[in-house]
Structure 1
């Protein structure tokens, strides 16, 4: 099976901003993007993106999950990067147009169609290191994906880094490629030295997030996760899981969580931890690595509450359960 996100539909939706207005929705071959070598994005990383999914329901209909929330976040990221203002209605049209065009290719459960809207600065001006790009391009790629856990549900190993940051604090809530690039080397080092799957960044002992996912600690019927601020990504899946947890009667505590408290709670029987994100929804965490020592979270395996919450979200996405929160958009 091809790696997640490595197969693309042959066409994409695209729009160009010329400094005054957007061009509207166009559908072009996915490999037809042309940029000047001096484009702002290639030199000064004026780029942001989103990740969301479309799902095929049993009746054959196609539903996009939380499109409005992802569009709002792309608009926010663009604003924080000083990119041209996103036309939200245009982006919604681009997403629905390209998903409708390839509706027949949306995989049935447990697969889905991964949607990647991207916004990049295109002005050819290498002298603008301290100035924004006046022109830009927005495009939407599609990638059919299978079951993230096809190889089996496995509890992950996280290296707890209580010094390093994933990215500068003011950039945390921006979904920009530079943040991921900055976390790559520490993650590769953790994999090589500790056989860790991810690094849990905890600067000054403050538990934040991994390089590509939000972190949730589950202690009995309580979920503990860092309160929203500008230092880390405001995950749509995170928000969805917390909303479902409250609906199921669980207590949700969005607050500061220290490494000391994390390690203390991790040792308790029944404790679980998970990473939330669009690809895996909820991936179980079984082991924390701190100062060279392995610390099992609860049983060290896949937690039952993690599986229950993931199933609750998946069932809503595929139309098995009621969409009581109005999260699904029809095409």
Structure 2
């Protein structure tokens, strides 16, 4: 994974609780292009966190991310809000996407809550560039909406909500009236995603046309599962609420790790057999055939690891 050392060239605190950073090379040279819906991992004093890129994706001169302050989080947002200053340098992993627009989709329906709007902004930029049919539903708390003016400049097909009941009513109507071939993209807190999925399922939406970007650190505890290590036949149980990474460490195995959110790729472990519940934002579909991210993904029944 390529790492970039970038400078903080702008900070915007216009929206309460949300800090927007603009990052660039010292010489202003172009940065690697990225797929709409991509994120970057930013290293901080306590580890690393992933943040969606909201700026221009084609040979950009800067990367732009917006970070919601989460006092009870893993520390990344506190560091960005309280310690990072204009002119500081940060280490950024090259962009990666697990939330790209589906090129064959007849229409792209973007549904976001709160800071979950961030990956949708690059989707909107891409849709405008390529002339794709796009719609957006965005719900947020009063005076806490991010990118509202920019969204209005990117599309005329955006609807904004600050009332949950009004949003849910509009959501039901919208999901019920989409043309065949529409793909939906969801990003926001888990309870929001659950609400949208419940409505979509009731209306008969196939899961293959619904794409989800979860917030890091909000994963459910999951059911216990067994792990067998191929090298020595060791078998142990990963309990509910305990990660595979934590269990491996407790049994004396040293697994490289950094973000503990399934975004950096450091704790990837090889899988020989078994059913894996993939929860990461790093591995491709092909890589998931024989790998899993120990920090967030879980097994079902028994999983044999090539360790």
Q: Which has the higher helix share?
A: 1
Normalised by the length of structure 2, the TM-score is: 0.31
Superposition TM-score, scaled by structure 1 size: 0.29
The structure with higher relative contact order (CA 8 Å, sep 6+) is 1
